[in-house]
Amino acid sequence: MLCLTCHRVRPAASRADYTAERASLIVRQGLCVCSAPSTRPRRQAPVRKGAPTPK
């Protein structure tokens, strides 16, 4: 269940993997991002220039 690289909880492969034990492990160890799918395009937040700052 744990990633060998970062020793965090690897993403669940199926719904059956979403257990309470796994959830508590994720809270404690964190979620592995080593094998995160790269299908999600990285979108950088647009930098606001000249945005009015409330005083």
**Residue 24 — φ and ψ, nearest 5°?**
-70, -35
- Residue 18 burial by Cβ neighbours in a 10 Å radius (0-12, 13-18, 19+): exposed
Q: Which CB atom, from 13 or from 45, has the smaller least distance to Zn ion?
A: 13
Binder to Zn ion among 6, 12, 25, 31 (CB under 5 A)? 6
32 binds Zn ion (CB under 5 A): yes
Binder to Zn ion among 2, 27, 34, 36 (CB under 5 A)? 34
Binder to Zn ion among 1, 3, 12, 25 (CB under 5 A)? 3
- The two tokens of residue 55 are 């005083």
